[in-house]
Amino acid sequence: MDAFYLVKIGEILLKLGNRKEFEDRLRSQLNRRLEGLPHKVELYPGRYFVSVPEEHAAAAEFVLSRTPGVNGFARAFKVEKSVDAVFDAALKVAAQAVGQGGRRFKAESRRSDKSFELGSFELSAEIGARVLEAFPETKVDLHQPEFTVNVEIRERAYVYGNPSPGLRGLPVGSGGKGLLLLSGGIDSPVAGYMMARRGLSLEAIYFHAYPYTSQEAKDKVVELARVVASFSGGIKLWTIPFTETQLKIKKEARDDLVTVMTRAAMMEAAGLLAERIGANSLVTGESLGQVASQTAENLRFTQSRTSLPVLRPLIGIDKEETIAMAKKIGSCEISILPYEDCCVVFSPEHPLLRAKLERETEAYEKLGLREAIAKAVTEAELIAIPYPLPPSD
Ligand code: ATP
Ligand code: MG
Using alpha carbons, select from 161, 165, 163 the residue that is nearest to residue 197.
165
347 lines ligand 1 (CB under 6 A): no
Instruction: State the closest ligand 1 atom to the C-alpha of 283, by its place in the atom list counted from 1.
Output: 20
Ligand 1, atom 18: nearest CA belongs to which residue? 285
Which ligand has the shortest distance to the CA of 284?
1
CA of 188 to the centre of ligand 2 (A): 8
CA of 220 to the centre of ligand 2 (A): 12
- Tell me the C-alpha distance between 162 and 283, whole Å: 35
Cβ neighbours of residue 379 under 8 Å, at least 6 residues apart?
240, 241
CATH number of this structure's domain 2-165, picked from the four choices 3.30.2130.30, 1.10.3300.10, 2.60.40.10, 3.90.1300.10: 3.30.2130.30
367 lines ligand 1 (CB under 6 A): no
CA of 65 to the centre of ligand 1 (A): 27
41 lines ligand 1 (CB under 6 A): no
Which ligand has the shortest distance to the CA of 282?
1
pLDDT in tens, 309-362: 999 999 999 999 999 999 999 999 999 988 766 556 678 888 999 999 999 999
Q: What are the residue ranges of CATH 3.30.2130.30 in the chain?
A: 2-165
- Tell me the C-alpha distance between 91 and 72, whole Å: 22
Q: With a cut of 70, which residues of the chain have pLDDT below it?
A: 340-345
341 lines ligand 1 (CB under 6 A): yes
User: At residue 36, what are phi and psi to the nearest 5 degrees?
Assistant: 95, -15
- Tell me the C-alpha distance between 161 and 144, whole Å: 14
361 lines ligand 1 (CB under 6 A): no
Q: What are the residue ranges of CATH 3.40.50.620 in the chain?
A: 177-385
CA of 276 to the centre of ligand 2 (A): 25
Which ligand has the shortest distance to the CA of 323?
1
Can you say how many angstroms the Cα of residue 235 is from the centroid of all Cα atoms in its chain?
Answer: 12
Instruction: State the closest ligand 1 atom to the C-alpha of 259, by its place in the atom list counted from 1.
Output: 11
CA dihedral 287, 288, 289, 292 (to 10 degrees): 70
Which ligand has the shortest distance to the CA of 285?
1
Ligand 1, atom 9: nearest CA belongs to which residue? 286
Cβ neighbours of residue 341 under 8 Å, at least 6 residues apart?
183, 184, 185, 208, 213, 217, 221
Structural element, H or E, at residue 17: none
220 contacts 196 by C-beta, under 8 angstroms: no
Instruction: State the closest ligand 1 atom to the C-alpha of 208, by its place in the atom list counted from 1.
Output: 27
178 lines ligand 1 (CB under 6 A): no
Is the pTM value of this prediction over 0.85?
A: yes
259 contacts 292 by C-beta, under 8 angstroms: yes
Q: Which of 188, 299, 317, 337 to mutate to test the pocket of ligand 1 (most atoms within 8 A of CB)?
A: 188
- Tell me the C-alpha distance between 10 and 132, whole Å: 32
Instruction: State the closest ligand 1 atom to the C-alpha of 342, by its place in the atom list counted from 1.
Output: 27
342 lines ligand 1 (CB under 6 A): yes
Q: In this prediction, what percent of the chain has a pLDDT beyond 90? A: 87
Ligand 1, atom 10: nearest CA belongs to which residue? 343
Superfamily of domain 177-385: HUPs (3.40.50.620)
Ligand 1, atom 7: nearest CA belongs to which residue? 185
351 contacts 193 by C-beta, under 8 angstroms: no
- Tell me the C-alpha distance between 65 and 329, whole Å: 11
- Tell me the C-alpha distance between 316 and 256, whole Å: 26
CA of 50 to the centre of ligand 1 (A): 38
CA of 367 to the centre of ligand 2 (A): 23
213 lines ligand 1 (CB under 6 A): no
The per-residue pLDDT for 341 is 62
Residue 117 Cα distances to 80, 113, 137, 150, 312, angstroms: 13, 10, 30, 17, 53
DSSP character for 46? T
User: At residue 89, what are phi and psi to the nearest 5 degrees?
Assistant: -65, -40
CA of 98 to the centre of ligand 2 (A): 48
